[in-house]
Structure 1
Amino acid sequence: MELRHLRYFRAVAEELHFGRAAHRLHIAQPPLSQQIRQLEREIGADLFVRTTRSVELTPAGRAFLPRVVGILDEVDRAAAQTRRIGDGVEGQLVIGCVGSATYSLLPRLVRVLGEVLPGVDVSVRGEMLAPAQLSALKAGEIDLALLRPPVADPDITTETLRRDRLLIALPADHVLAGRDVVPVGELRDVDFISHAGRGRSRMSALITEMCLAEGFSPRIRHEVEETSTLVTMVAAGLGVAVVPEPTAALGVRGVVYRPVSTRRAAIDLLVAVRNGDTSPLIANALAIVRANAGGTDLATANSTG
C-alpha cells in the first residue's frame, strides 16, 4: 500500500464518482479504477459499491475513510513543516548576549525576529560573559552569541556587527561627573567596579589594559557578574565603571556617562556561530542581526538616568 493509493481512495470517496475523482487527480479513469481494485485486494475488503449509475462507500470504506484522511493530512502537515524548517522559517533559536547588548540591541532584535520569523521559537540567555557564551555555543546550548572580542577559537566564526564607544559610568555627584571627557589618567585614585575578572570578562581585561597604558593598575574594589548590578553599584556611589555605550540604555537613576579619553576608546560587538553551521535558520537569523545591529535605543551619554 502506497500513499498514492490512499490519495486515490480519498478522492473517489469524497467525489463518489470515478470520472470526477480522476479529473481531480489529473489521471485517466481506467488507471484510477485499477489502483482502487489493487488497494481493495491488498486490504482484503471492498471499499466501494459500484453500479452503472452510482458509487457508494461500503461499511468498510466508511470506516477506512477517516483513518485515511487523518494519515494524509498528517503527512501533508509533516511535509509542510519540513519545508518550513528547510527554509529556515521554523524551529528554535537560542541567543546568548553580553550585558550591554542585552539591554539595547536584544529587545529590538527579538521583536524583529518575531515579526519576520513568527514560526521560530526564540529564547535568550542574557548577561553572559564571553567565555560562557563560547562554551555554550560549542556545546550546542546556544545558536548565536553576541559578545566582545577577542575570540580566538578555531571552532567559532565571528563577524563584527558594530563598534561601541567606551564611556565612564560615574555616580551623579562624583567630582568627575562635571567633565565633558574623562582622561583615563584621572581615574588613578578612584575605585572601580568591574565585571568578574580572572580571565572571564573582556571588559575587566580592557580596564586593566587602559590603566596600565597610563602607568597605573586599576583599583578594582568590586567585581560583579551582571551589567545591571554593576551600574546599580555605580549609582550607589561604590565606584566608577568603564562600559560600552549601549549600557546607558539601562537608564539607572543617579548615574552619568562620560566619554573616556584613551587610545582605545571603543570596543567591537561581535556575532559568533559554530563553524560549518549551514542551518538556513541560522542564516536567516544572521541576516536579521546584521540589519538590526547598527542603532540602539540609548539614553544619551550625558543622561543622569
Structure 2
Amino acid sequence: MELRHLRYFRAVAEELHFNRAAERLNIAQPPLSQQIRQLENELGVTLFRRSTRKVELTPAGQRYLQDVVTILGAVDDAAEQARLVADGQRGHLSIGCVGSATYSLLPQLVRELRDQLPGINVSIRGEMLAPAQIEALLAGTIDVALLRPPVVHPGVTTMAIRRDRLLVALPADHPLAGSTELRPADLRDADFVVHAGHGRSAMSGVVTGLCAEAGFVPRIRHSVEETSTLLTLVAAGLGLAVVPSPTAALGIPAVAYVPLGPGSVGIDLLAATRDLDRSTLIDRVLAVLRRVAAE
C-alpha cells in the first residue's frame, strides 16, 4: 500500500463516481479501478458497492474513509510544517545573553521576534557569562549567544551588533558621582566590584586592562557573576564598577552612572552562532537583532 492508493480511494469515496474521480486525479479510469481493486484485495474487505448506475461506500468503506482523511491530512500537515521550519517560520530558538544586554536589548528583541516570527518559540537564558555561553552554544543548548569579545573558537562565527560606551557605576553619595566624565586614573584609590575574573568574564579583562594602562592594579573587593548583584553591591557602598552603558537600564536605586572617558572607550556586543547551526531561522533572527540594536 502506498499513499497514492489512499488518495485514489479518497477521491472515489468523495465523488462516488470513478470517471469523475479519475478526472480529478488526472489519470485514466481503468487504472484507477485497478488500483482500488488492489487496495481492497490487500485489505481483504470490500470498500465500494458497484452497479451500472451508482457507486456506494460499504460500512467498512465509510469507516476506512474517516481514517484515510485523518492520515492524509496528517501527511499534508507534516509536509507543510517541514516547509515552514525550513523557511525559518516555525521552530524553537534559545538565546543566551550577558547581563547588560539582558535588561536593555532582550525585551525589545523578544517583542520583535514575537511580531515578526510568530511561529517561533523563543526561550531566553539571561545573565550568562561569555564562557558559559560558548559552552552552551557548542553543546546546542542555545542557538544564539549575545556576549562580549574576545570570542575565538573554531566553529563559532561572531557578528558585532553594536558598541556600548563604558560607564562607571558608583554609589549615589560617592564623591565622584557628580562628575561629568571620569578617566581610569581617577579610579586609582577606589574599591572595585567586578564580574567574575580568571577568564570567566570579558568585562573583568576590560577593567584590568584599563587600569593597567593608567598605571595601577584595581583593588578588587568583590567578584560576582550576575550584573544585578554587581550593581546591588555598588548601591550598598561596597565599591564602584565599570559597566557597559545598557546596564543602567536595570534601574537599581542609589546607583549613579558617569561616562568613562575619553568618549571612544567602549566595548562591542557580539552575536555568536555555531557554524553548523546556520539556517534560515538563524538568519531571520540575526536580521531582527541587527534592526533592534540599531534602533
TM-score, structure 1 normalization: 0.92
Partners of 2:193 and 2:222 within 8 A in 1: yes
Q: Provide the C-alpha distance between the structure 2 equivalents of 1:139 and 1:277, rounded to a whole number of angstroms.
A: 11
Cα displacement (A) at 1:276: 3.4
Give the letter aligned to residue 203 of structure 1.
M
The aligned residue for residue 223 of structure 1 is: 223
Alpha-carbon offset, residue 181 of structure 1: 0.4
2:80 equivalent in structure 1: 80
Identical positions, percent: 65
For residues 215-240 of structure 1, the C-alpha deviation after alignment (integer angstroms, 9 at most, x for no partner) is 11111111111111111221121111
Q: CA RMSD in A?
A: 1.5
Matched, 1:254 2:250: no
Bigger drift between 38-47 and 120-129 goes to 38-47
Q: Which residue of 1 aligns with 2:268?
A: 268
1:179 is matched with which residue?
179
Q: How many residues align?
A: 295
The Cα offsets for residues 148-196 of structure 1, whole Å up to 9 and x where unpaired, read as 0001112211111111000111111111111100111111111111111
Could you tell me which residue of structure 2 aligns to residue 283 of structure 1? 283
Aligned letter for 1:108? Q
Does 2:196 align with 1:196? yes
1:1-305 alignment runs, 5 A limit: 1-262=1-262, 265-295=265-295
Structure 1, 171-180 or 20-29: larger mean CA deviation: 20-29
Q: Which moved more, 1:51-60 or 1:192-201?
A: 51-60
TM-score in terms of structure 2 length? 0.95
CA contact 1:197–1:204 (8 Å) conserved in 2: yes
Structure 1 contact 103–247 (Cα < 8 Å) conserved: yes
CA-to-aligned-CA distance 1:72-103 (integer Å, 9 cap, x gap): 11111111111111112111111110000000
1:10-64 deviations in Å (ceiling 9; x for gaps): 1211222223323332333333223222222222222101122221111221221
Which amino acid in the other structure matches residue 32 of structure 2?
L
Q: Please give the secondary structure, in 2, of the residue aligned with 1:176.
A: coil
Name stretches of at least 5 consecutive residues in structure 2 with no aligned partner: none
Partners of 2:35 and 2:56 in 1: CA distance: 17
User: Residue 160 of structure 2: SS of its match in structure 1?
Assistant: strand
- Give the distance between the partners of 1:202 and 1:27, measured in 2 at CA: 67
